[in-house]
Amino acid sequence: MRNITLRNGLCCLAILAAAGCNDNVLKTGHFEMIETQPLAEGRTDSVTVSAAIEFPESGLRGDACGRITESIVRMSFGVAGNNVGDAARHWADSCVAEYRESGNELLRYLEGNDDGEPCSALSWENSVSGHIAGVHGDIISCIVSRYDYAGGAHGSTSETGVNFDRNTGEVIGEDDVFTEDSGEELRKLLSAHLQESLPDNDAYNALFIKDIEPNGNFIVTPAGVTYIYGQYEIGPYYLGIIKVTLPWEELEGLLK
């Protein structure tokens, strides 16, 4: 079965530039695709691949939109260029090819013991999404999320934050945002706000690490700087991805 849905559109984000920047509204485009492919003719085992990507189209200076889109494409699909549709197509084809190669190896291993019924190890899913997650001053933040399931007990989910200078489209990191000697204070703030970021005391007590440090995976929002900790990074799988927000007022003196 093959099912593909494509949608392209414009969404206006009311993101006003900071003083000294242009006051254009950032307009973003959206690309969506979902496709289900069988392992082989006559079998109901299948892989589903899906992508949902938001990217800037206008409202920034110079070629900043193109640079940001190139970074989002590279993070999302692992290829160069700024054509989201072509990159998604290449990624989807690669996922299907890998699925069929691995799945057919398993079928050969099961030869003689396979009754043709669906096999849980042969139901795969690969998805990727990217969206504009926040803006503060001259920084635009994006989150790229992935989910991969290749049989087994559960899949794997990840979220990666990437930050851009809205004037140039260049990627910026912690060293561009925080002062050189801010590390220890950031650690204290992150550890202090960790418990409130979790649903209850049981979740907090289940953590592997309670004295957490900045890990380079962060975004900016109107509320503050949000750090993202992946599955197993500081706690067990069932806690999922943990996000800790440091309010702007508490970061005074730590920002460049």
Please give the order of strands across the beta sheet that includes 7-13: 7-13, 26-38, 46-58, 124-136, 139-150, 156-165, 171-172
Mean pLDDT of the chain: 89
Q: Which residue has the higher pLDDT, 28 or 43?
A: 28
Q: What pLDDT score does 8 carry?
A: 36
Rounded to 5°, angle at Cα 216 from 214 and 217: 105
pLDDT band at 106 (very low <50, low <70, confident <90, very high): confident
Contact 78, 146 (CB under 8 A): no
Q: Comparing 50-64, 108-122, 164-178, which segment has the lowest mean pLDDT?
A: 108-122
Q: What pLDDT score does 27 carry?
A: 94
- The pTM score is 0.87
Q: How distant, in Å, are the alpha carbons of 49, 140, 231, 241, 252 from that of 211? A: 37, 28, 17, 17, 21
Rg (CA), the chain: 21
The residue length of the chain stands at: 256
From the list 56, 74, 49, 47, the residue with the least C-alpha distance to 128 is: 49
Q: What pLDDT score does 43 carry?
A: 80
The arithmetic mean of pLDDT across residues 166-195, rounded, is: 97
Rounded to 5°, angle at Cα 144 from 178 and 10: 105
Phi/psi for 59 (5° steps) reads 105, 0
pLDDT band at 10 (very low <50, low <70, confident <90, very high): very low
Query: Which residues on adjacent β-strands are paired with residue 139?
Result: 136, 165
β-strands 124-136, 46-58 pairing? parallel
